[in-house]
């Protein structure tokens, strides 16, 4: 089992600082995990993700990697680590969210999910057992259980039936995981996912079931799918009060910089989100002073660095005016610079949060930062 060392908990909030130990290296928490859906962090070199932003762990996606390049290629490469050259920890999402998003072309049964490929229309089936086998071949250090991610809004009866199905699938995932072995020799962990939509009683049932399993780490899914932020924070808080303090907690798909700081304060340790790269490709920069739409005319003659506090080389090497020019000219370099900046900023943010938790000043710092980070500059 992966080992998690909880170093300290903030006295004025539930924020925690810890270290998660894996065979591919240690992960200092709280941590943000850049999303590398098809084996790459979009528009960013693996070298820059590692050496420039010092990301400690990245994500891959079971659904996308299964379809392309396919399991034979991944196995021949020695898993995703061998395929993309990333030698630090990797977490793979189970593909449940992607299958959920294929609403018009998938069918859910107790056995699993039948779906059509978004690439060529071919039909496939994901069962809990198959998803565990696929993630073994991908070789992620942290594997996710196969779940149904309910939409928002979602009526109570649907959420209740969905949760029963997710729990049944979890039991089957655990059996398959425990009866199989890593393909490449390094240790792998399986994280279950708390579901239950926005209903506190369902979330409580799910969190209690998962807490009792005492596995290496736990995840909270089905949030950040359109519900108000207040509900997301409420559910996160309720679930964190049930999940064991001795295991890392991963809030899936969250979120904005403000979401991340507020969720750290509630006791979350791990985050992922496509926002740094997706929004970056559209010209939105997250900075320590607020949010910039770099395409706006106001930056045309601003020759100051992208972000004086930034972690990445792009923050000092390029001006706002230059990056705006690249976007206006539709130059390929523009989304690359913006994506790398945003990933660097997200990693700076969680690193700074960790420092503040360790020195006992997190709560007051967080209250100042959430106001600044929401500013539109």
> Any idea which residue has 């005492």 for tokens?
214
Helices (H), 214-319: 229-240, 257-266, 275-281, 313-317
Burial class (CB in 10 A: 0-12, 13-18, 19+), 237: middle
Q: Largest Cα–Cα distance of the chain, in whole Å? A: 62
Residue 192: per-residue pLDDT:
98
Domain edges within the chain: 3-273
- SS3 label, residue 169: helix
Residue 284, beta-bridge partner list: 293
Which tokens is 203 given? 């979330």
Residue 352: per-residue pLDDT:
97
Residue 37: per-residue pLDDT:
86
Q: How far apart are CA 151 and CA 32, in angstroms?
A: 24
* Distances 240 to 161, 217, 249 between C-alpha atoms, Å: 23, 12, 8
Q: How far apart are CA 88 and CA 24, in angstroms?
A: 5
Residue 197: per-residue pLDDT:
96
Which residues neighbour 154 within 8 Å (Cβ) at sequence distance 6 or greater? 162, 197, 198
Q: What is the pTM of this model?
A: 0.97
Of 10, 48, 52, 93, which residue is the catalytic one?
A: 93
Residue 57: count other Cβ atoms within 10 Å of its Cβ: 24
Residue 163: per-residue pLDDT:
97
Decide if 272 is catalytic. yes
Which tokens is 296 given? 């706006």
**pLDDT tens, residue order, the chain (377 aa):** 899 999 999 999 999 999 999 999 999 999 999 999 899 999 999 999 999 999 999 999 999 999 999 999 999 999 999 999 999 999 999 987 787 777 777 889 999 999 888 889 899 999 999 999 999 999 999 999 999 888 899 999 999 999 999 999 999 999 999 999 999 999 999 999 999 999 999 999 999 999 999 999 999 999 988 899 999 999 999 999 999 999 999 999 999 999 999 999 999 999 999 999 999 999 999 999 999 999 999 999 999 999 988 989 999 999 999 999 999 999 999 999 999 999 999 999 999 999 999 999 999 999 999 999 999 99
Q: How far apart are CA 30 and CA 267, in angstroms?
A: 9
Which residues neighbour 162 within 8 Å (Cβ) at sequence distance 6 or greater? 148, 150, 154, 195, 197
Of 141, 147, 269, 272, which residue is the catalytic one?
A: 272
Which residues neighbour 179 within 8 Å (Cβ) at sequence distance 6 or greater? none
Residue 32 sits at the vertex; the CA angle it makes with 351 and 290, to the nearest 5 degrees, is 70
Residue 175: per-residue pLDDT:
98
User: Between 3.20.20.70, 3.90.1570.30, 3.20.20.105, 3.40.50.11540, what CATH number should domain 3-273 receive?
Assistant: 3.20.20.105
Residue 118: per-residue pLDDT:
87
């Amino acid at each position: 089992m992966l080992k998690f060392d909880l170093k300290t908990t903030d006295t004025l909030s539930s924020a925690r600082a810890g270290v998660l130990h894996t065979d591919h290296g240690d992960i200092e928490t709280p941590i943000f995990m850049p999303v590398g859906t098809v084996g790459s962090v979009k528009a960013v070199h693996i070298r820059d993700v590692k050496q420039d932003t010092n990301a400690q762990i990245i994500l891959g996606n079971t659904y996308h990697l299964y379809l392309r390049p396919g399991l034979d290629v991944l196995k021949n490469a020695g898993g995703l680590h061998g395929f993309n050259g990333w030698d630090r920890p990797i977490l793979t999402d189970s593909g449940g969210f992607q299958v959920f998003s294929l609403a018009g072309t998938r069918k859910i049964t107790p056995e699993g999910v039948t779906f059509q490929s978004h690439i060529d229309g071919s039909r496939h089936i994901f069962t809990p057992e198959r998803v565990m086998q696929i993630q073994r071949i991908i070789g992620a250090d942290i594997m996710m259980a196969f779940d149904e991610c309910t939409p928002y809004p979602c009526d109570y009866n649907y959420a209740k039936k969905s949760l029963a199905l997710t729990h049944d699938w979890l039991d089957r995932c655990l059996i398959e995981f425990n009866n199989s072995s890593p393909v490449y020799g390094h240790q792998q962990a399986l994280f279950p996912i708390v579901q239950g939509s926005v209903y506190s009683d369902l979330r409580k049932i799910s969190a209690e079931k998962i807490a009792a399993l005492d596995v290496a780490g736990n995840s909270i899914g089905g949030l950040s799918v359109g519900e108000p932020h207040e509900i997301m924070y409420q559910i996160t808080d309720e679930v964190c009060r049930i999940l064991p303090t001795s295991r890392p907690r991963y809030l899936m798909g969250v979120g904005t910089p403000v979401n991340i700081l507020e969720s750290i304060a509630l006791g979350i340790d791990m985050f992922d989100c496509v926002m740094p790269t997706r929004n970056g490709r559209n010209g939105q920069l997250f900075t320590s002073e607020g949010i910039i739409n770099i395409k706006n005319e106001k930056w045309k003659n601003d020759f100051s660095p992208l972000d004086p506090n930034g972690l990445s080389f792009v923050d000092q090497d390029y001006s706002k005016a230059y990056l705006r020019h690249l976007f206006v000219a539709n130059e390929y370099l523009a989304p690359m610079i913006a994506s790398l900046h945003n990933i660097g900023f997200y990693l700076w943010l969680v690193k700074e949060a960790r420092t503040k938790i360790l020195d006992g000043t997190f709560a007051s710092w967080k209250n100042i930062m959430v106001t600044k980070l929401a500013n539109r500059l």
